[in-house]
Amino acid sequence: MQTSRRDIFLLACCQALLLINGAGLVSMNGLVGFSLAQTKELATFGVTTYVLGSALATMPMSLWMGRVGRRAGFMAGAAINIAGCFIGALALHWRSFPLFCIATGVIGIYNAIGLQYRFAAAEVAAPADRAKAISLVLAGGVAGGLIGPQAIRATRDLVATPFEGSFAMLAVVALIALGVQSFVRVPAPALGEQGGGRALAEIARQPTFVVAVLAGALGYGLMNLLMTATPIAMDFCGHPFGAMALVIEWHVVAMFAPGFVTGSLIRRYGTLPIILAGVGLTASAALVALNGISVAHFVASLALVGVGWNFMYTGGTTLLTETYRPNERSRVQGFNDLIVFATMIVSSLASGALVTTTGWETMNRAALPLCATIGVAVIWLIWIRRAARPAAV
């Protein structure tokens, strides 16, 4: 138990350092893209390549970690991120939008690997404590939410080219992460846990898998759609960069702070009711955004999106652990995250196009039917499980 707590704490620290990188990158990505791209509708394409890099890396890196272990994979991710930050600094120095998109794609590989921290937490915890372990590791992102955007703000003008110094700062953060990761101890997969198992198509037909993926993928996609567009929307509304950084900061805090209690809430009320609560919060966020464009409206809306994402993502991850056997976990985890990232690619592409052509209000209206889709799927699974109870008695 003591070892489990130690490793969960270290994984939470890794999550914090990952989110300093992620939140910092998000807070400047749209603005950097807008300044470099000749076609302004492509301003958020750097987010798309970030997600694309994650999508392409998630399955091979998950399978590779299934063979060599979590620690080697995590450390490789941090080293790749340092290289990506160096490319990003060069892109800004040379005013190259294509090179900037390559940089965010490389950094996306680090994100794909870092998202496996939650699965590592489930692997070091007892089965009854998995939801709590997952949520506590995600809670480490609170530090990233507080530090990331403010660190970008502080280093934005560190050198002559705006945000060039910010990439150097993110490389230093990744170097610190490399040191923390070297102390992580996650049990290596046993020989009997490597390969074999059911076909992915068979696993994916399980109702629990369908709802787990919908909660994780659509929940992430909705969050990404609104978060990516926020700095640009605020810029259009005349708000300063400091206000944008504040909104992203509180959004990321809202994403991860509930992690201190989400696991306990799942244990008390069940996974599916918590996912439903996340759907309701995300829908409420869209309604808040439709009622005003002040900084307060942006803060409230993005904070609600953050908490809603936490409930859906933690709940979806917990559901996913019920769908696979030990010798299937690397494939299923990688496949799940591949679907998540594919959804994020679509949402990030749609984000820039929608906010620059149809506006902030249209984006928020588009979020409501997607919320309804997740809600209907959860209710469907609740009905299936209740209908199955008499047969099991």
pLDDT in tens, 116-130: 998 899 888 888 888
- How does 3-26 read in b/e, with b if 16+ C-beta sit within 10 Å? ebeebbebbbbbbbbbbbbbbbbb
Q: Structural domains in the chain?
A: 2-184+197-392 (1.20.1250.20)
Distance in angstroms (rounded) separating the CA atoms of residues 283 and 293: 17
Reported as half-sphere exposure (CB side, CA atoms, 13 A), residue 382 has a value of 13
pLDDT in tens, 195-230: 668 889 999 999 999 999 999 999 989 998 888 788
Decide if 322 contacts 208 (C-beta within 8 A).
yes
Largest CA distance in the chain: 71
Mean pLDDT value across residues 51-63: 89
Decide if 278 contacts 311 (C-beta within 8 A).
yes
Pick the range with the lowest mean pLDDT from 7-11, 175-179, 323-327: 323-327
pLDDT in tens, 249-292: 788 789 888 988 998 999 999 999 999 999 999 999 999 999 99
Question: DSSP string of 61-130?
Answer: HHHHHHHH-HHHHHHHHHHHHHHHHHHHHHHHHHT-HHHHHHHHHHHHHHHHHHTTHHHHHHHHS-GGGH
Q: Which percentage of the chain shows pLDDT scores above 70?
A: 96
Question: DSSP string of 252-320?
Answer: HHHHHTTHHHHHHHHHHH-HHHHHHHHHHHHHHHHHHHTT--SHHHHHHHHHHHHHHHHHHHHHHHHHH
Q: Give which of 282, 27, 307, 281 is closest to 144, Cα–Cα.
A: 27
